[in-house]
Chain A
Amino acid sequence: MNNTPLKHTNEPGKPSTFDVVQKSLAKRRAAEHRFRFYGIAGIVLALAFLLVLFVNIFGKGYTAFVQTQIRLDIYFERAVLDPDGTDTEDALSKADYTLLIKKSLSGLFPEVNSRRDKRNLYALISSGASYKLRALVLNDAGLVGKTSSVWLPVNDDIDILFKGHIDREAKQSDRRVNDRQLDFIDRLVAENRLEKQFSSTFFTDGDSREPELAGIRGALTGSLLTLLGTFLLSFPIGVATAVYLEEFAPVNKWTDFIEINVNNLAAVPSIVFGLLGLAMFINFFGLPRSTPIVGCLVLTLMTLPTIIIAGRASLKSVPPSIREAALGIGASKLQTIFDHVLPLAIPGMLTGAIIGMARALGETAPLLMIGMVAFIVDIPGGFSDPSTVLPVQIYLWADSPERAFVEKTSAAIMVLLVFLIAMNGLAVYLRKLYERRW
């Protein structure tokens, strides 16, 4: 600042406001810059964490969509498939397909004779391979009696070896693939019989004890059913409650009491809702355990307070002038609410509901209590079929000892994240769609 005498002063000897403000300007600007820096730093930090999370999950998970396959020339021997010569589908579906695979492998390695070597050899192939053969034959009975070249999944240990997660130089006792098997594999690779291929198994199959056969479809269907039920139950009840509390309820101690309790419920740990669901829905009402119907009832209890609070907030934000306008021309209270207030509040309510849904999607603890943590292979066909959900599936896989489940876990997290992003995107889209000016 310059020290020249101040020109424009109303009172001699006193600095003018302009100069005083001019002097304080540097400090104000510094404060502004500092604040902006904090904000940007916060965002950068958050983005960095998000990036680390994504890189980590994608880096580990992308291999789950690829599966090592082995090309075998299978002779669909009539004597094995249909020993009695009945030529019925029943016989074909009961036949011993594993034997076909074993025979094919023995053909490739004729020198393998000892029991131990045979076991090592046969262990290369996934136990699910025989199901694949059976599906092929049942689909096309003309294969019987012919030889066909078929790609079959290998065992998860071999898959992991192929994806580079097993150290070949390690001591034999420290790795899941022994030297003899390595030898077999090297010879198969030399014959171009082993290859990594895209596999849809992950998206089309349910859970399995065998990592190479495990898929997300069961958990995904379970999650979809549970969330659908949760939304159908919690949104109408939540909106109705919010409208009643905000518009109709008399202002008295009871209403205050209810409001406090709704707010408290929103903060109750979710496992408590799980215990409540176990005690009430399963033990008292006798609903089937491990099912989406119980899951969505429990998650509805958990989501309701969120939806009610968001609903009330968005009802409050509707300007009173709109209510006055409707009341002023003789609309009844119900008409005012349904024709004018609710349409304006719905975007906010939907946003609140979808945020609640997103929370319900990621919820694990209460579902453990109602048995949705069970190992379920079948894909649920309805609300009363036993099923599991995405976060519980992640928990189950993360808890499994096989190395191959690591990539499955990450892949399941990716599916969950996609689901979450889609739901949040929907919330933003709906808000934009229904947002109106007034």
Chain B
Amino acid sequence: MNYVKDLETKANYSMTKKIISDALSAPEIDRESRTTVGKITSDDPRVVCKNVNVYYGENRAINDLSLEIGNHEVISFIGPSGCGKSTFLRTLNRMNDTIVSCRVSGEIKIDGKNIYDRDLDVVPLRAMVGMVFQKPNPFPKSIYDNVAYGPRIHGLAADKRELDAIVEESLKKAGLWDEVKDRLNDLGTGLSGGQQQRLCIARTIAVNPEIILMDEPCSALDPIATAKIEQLIAELSERFTIVIVTHSMQQAARVSQRTAYFHIGHLIEVGRTNDIFTNPKHPLTEDYITGRFG
């Protein structure tokens, strides 16, 4: 009996010893290292980025970034201001094209197609990769027209009845229908900030995109409106792939499965949200998570 116990104790001891020695011998990552730590690949990739560089004139805003974004996954980009997370987000549907001095090199493939291909038209790309902006920006038109605009220009509805159905469904998905169903002809700009942002989300999903990019969608909203949007993101993630840029680490922790940490133009660390927040590998990530800077 004693012998057995002794064996167990020994086994426990040796296991503990192994774990400790592993932890101790795991190579400590150099603070100055800018190589991405963690698993950048995905088992079911939708978006594949390889060696992406983004320049504003002479200034390099994104350095050699490689990342895969999985199907129906919510991935959040975190990092201090000016770290390039919004810039990278906007390369995914080529919104950076509107900035004259902006140049992108490397490869971004969505469903195997390079979106920076010379022949590719941005119109179908942006219809497939929708975007919600930091500041709610409804058109100064009626609530109905705000949502109906996308389906109208893309010809997604054959007649008025279908269009009505799309508008209703999109507003329902965005959790706004009950609040606005009686005043669809009111100006979209007359809604409250949170409602405006949900209207913008409704407008985005009315086009039925595959991927939704969200650029700090809650930064201009109060906590209650933020909670609603976060709940909405959770619901939407069943149907869409969502990439969200956020300044709030709590938000990243709440809504996303994966998290990517950016630092001054470099993707420092990617991993499961839980791992990133409980066990960051890179010292910079750890500093940011623990609030030492950022």
Residues of A that sit less than 8 Å from B by CB: 251, 319, 321-332, 335, 339-340, 344, 436-438
Binds A, one of B62-70, B92-100, B161-169, B246-254: B92-100
Cβ–Cβ < 8 Å partners of A436 in chain B: 140, 189
Q: Could you tell me the distance in whole angstroms from the C-beta of B209 to the nearest C-beta in chain A?
A: 8
Contact between chains at B135 and A321 (CB < 8 Å): yes
Q: Contacting A324 at CB < 8 Å: which of B130, B137, B187?
A: B137
Residues of B that sit less than 8 Å from A by CB: 93, 95, 98, 100, 122-127, 130-133, 135, 137-140, 149-150, 153-154, 187, 189, 200, 203-204, 206-207
| CB closest residue in chain A, given B190 | A437
Cβ–Cβ < 8 Å partners of B98 in chain A: 323-324, 327
Cβ–Cβ < 8 Å partners of B93 in chain A: 328
Q: Which 9 residue pairs spanning A and B have beta carbons closest together?
A: A330-B127, A321-B137, A328-B131, A330-B126, A329-B150, A325-B137, A438-B140, A436-B140, A330-B123
Contact between chains at B153 and A437 (CB < 8 Å): no
Contacts A330-B150, A331-B153 known; A325 to B133 CB distance under 8 Å? Answer: yes
Contacts A344-B140, A436-B140, A437-B189 known; A329 to B126 CB distance under 8 Å? Answer: yes
Contact between chains at B126 and A340 (CB < 8 Å): no
Cβ–Cβ < 8 Å partners of B135 in chain A: 321
Cβ–Cβ < 8 Å partners of A323 in chain B: 98
Q: Could you tell me the distance in whole angstroms from the C-beta of A437 to the nearest C-beta in chain B?
A: 6
| CB closest residue in chain B, given A344 | B140
Contact between chains at B207 and A329 (CB < 8 Å): yes
Complex: how many Å from CA A106 to CA B131?
A: 95
| CB closest residue in chain B, given A438 | B140
Q: Could you tell me the distance in whole angstroms from the C-beta of B229 to the nearest C-beta in chain A?
A: 17
Contact between chains at A325 and B139 (CB < 8 Å): yes
Cβ–Cβ < 8 Å partners of A325 in chain B: 133, 137-139, 200, 203
Q: Contacting B203 at CB < 8 Å: which of A322, A324, A329, A437?
A: A329
Q: Could you tell me the distance in whole angstroms from the C-beta of A9 to the nearest C-beta in chain B?
A: 36
Cβ–Cβ < 8 Å partners of B123 in chain A: 330-332
A-B contact pairs, 22 of them (CB 8 A): A321-B133, A321-B137, A322-B137, A322-B139, A324-B131, A324-B133, A324-B137, A325-B200, A326-B149, A327-B98, A327-B126, A328-B126, A329-B130, A329-B149, A329-B150, A329-B153, A329-B206, A329-B207, A330-B150, A330-B154, A331-B149, A437-B189
Contact between chains at B124 and A330 (CB < 8 Å): yes
Cβ–Cβ < 8 Å partners of A339 in chain B: 149, 153
Q: Could you tell me the distance in whole angstroms from the C-beta of A424 to the nearest C-beta in chain B?
A: 26
Cβ–Cβ < 8 Å partners of A331 in chain B: 123, 149-150, 153
Cβ–Cβ < 8 Å partners of A328 in chain B: 93, 95, 126, 130-133, 204
Q: Contacting B153 at CB < 8 Å: which of A319, A324, A330?
A: A330
Cβ–Cβ < 8 Å partners of A327 in chain B: 95, 98, 122, 126
Complex: how many Å from CA A438 to CA B140?
A: 6
Cβ–Cβ < 8 Å partners of A324 in chain B: 95, 98, 131, 133, 137
Cβ–Cβ < 8 Å partners of B139 in chain A: 322, 325-326, 340
Beyond the given pairs A323-B98, A437-B189, 11 more chain A to chain B contacts, judged by CB atoms under 8 angstroms and listed by A's residue number, are A321-B135, A322-B139, A327-B122, A328-B95, A329-B203, A330-B123, A330-B124, A331-B153, A344-B140, A437-B140, A438-B140
Cβ–Cβ < 8 Å partners of A321 in chain B: 133, 135, 137
Complex: how many Å from CA A335 to CA B121?
A: 14
Q: Could you tell me the distance in whole angstroms from the C-beta of A327 to the nearest C-beta in chain B?
A: 7
Q: Could you tell me the distance in whole angstroms from the C-beta of A438 to the nearest C-beta in chain B?
A: 5
Contact between chains at A335 and B189 (CB < 8 Å): no
| CB closest residue in chain B, given A340 | B139
Complex: how many Å from CA A327 to CA B137?
A: 12
Complex: how many Å from CA A274 to CA B132?
A: 54
Of listed B124, B126, B138, residue having the most chain A CB within 10 A: B126
Complex: how many Å from CA A30 to CA B130?
A: 56
| CB closest residue in chain A, given B127 | A330
Q: Could you tell me the distance in whole angstroms from the C-beta of A256 to the nearest C-beta in chain B?
A: 14
Q: Could you tell me the distance in whole angstroms from the C-beta of B206 to the nearest C-beta in chain A?
A: 8
Complex: how many Å from CA A327 to CA B213?
A: 13
Cβ–Cβ < 8 Å partners of B138 in chain A: 325
Q: Could you tell me the distance in whole angstroms from the C-beta of B237 to the nearest C-beta in chain A?
A: 20
| CB closest residue in chain A, given B93 | A328
Complex: how many Å from CA A339 to CA B95?
A: 19
Complex: how many Å from CA A392 to CA B8?
A: 114
Cβ–Cβ < 8 Å partners of B131 in chain A: 324, 328-329
Cβ–Cβ < 8 Å partners of B140 in chain A: 322, 344, 436-438
Cβ–Cβ < 8 Å partners of B200 in chain A: 325
Cβ–Cβ < 8 Å partners of B127 in chain A: 329-330
| CB closest residue in chain B, given A332 | B123
Q: Could you tell me the distance in whole angstroms from the C-beta of B288 to the nearest C-beta in chain A?
A: 28
Cβ–Cβ < 8 Å partners of B189 in chain A: 436-438
Complex: how many Å from CA A329 to CA B130?
A: 6
| CB closest residue in chain B, given A320 | B98
Q: Contacting B100 at CB < 8 Å: which of A251, A332, A335, A437?
A: A251
Complex: how many Å from CA A326 to CA B206?
A: 13
| CB closest residue in chain A, given B100 | A251
Cβ–Cβ < 8 Å partners of B204 in chain A: 328-329
Cβ–Cβ < 8 Å partners of B126 in chain A: 327-330
Contacts A321-B137, A324-B137, A325-B139 known; A330 to B95 CB distance under 8 Å? Answer: no
| CB closest residue in chain B, given A321 | B137
Complex: how many Å from CA A330 to CA B98?
A: 13
| CB closest residue in chain A, given B207 | A329
Complex: how many Å from CA A324 to CA B131?
A: 9
| CB closest residue in chain B, given A324 | B133
Cβ–Cβ < 8 Å partners of A437 in chain B: 140, 187, 189
| CB closest residue in chain B, given A437 | B189
Q: Could you tell me the distance in whole angstroms from the C-beta of B93 to the nearest C-beta in chain A?
A: 7
Q: Could you tell me the distance in whole angstroms from the C-beta of A434 to the nearest C-beta in chain B?
A: 11
| CB closest residue in chain A, given B188 | A438
Complex: how many Å from CA A436 to CA B145?
A: 16
Cβ–Cβ < 8 Å partners of A344 in chain B: 140
Complex: how many Å from CA A322 to CA B187?
A: 14
Q: Could you tell me the distance in whole angstroms from the C-beta of A12 to the nearest C-beta in chain B?
A: 38
Q: Could you tell me the distance in whole angstroms from the C-beta of B168 to the nearest C-beta in chain A?
A: 18
Q: Could you tell me the distance in whole angstroms from the C-beta of B60 to the nearest C-beta in chain A?
A: 21
Q: Could you tell me the distance in whole angstroms from the C-beta of A333 to the nearest C-beta in chain B?
A: 9
Q: Could you tell me the distance in whole angstroms from the C-beta of B126 to the nearest C-beta in chain A?
A: 4
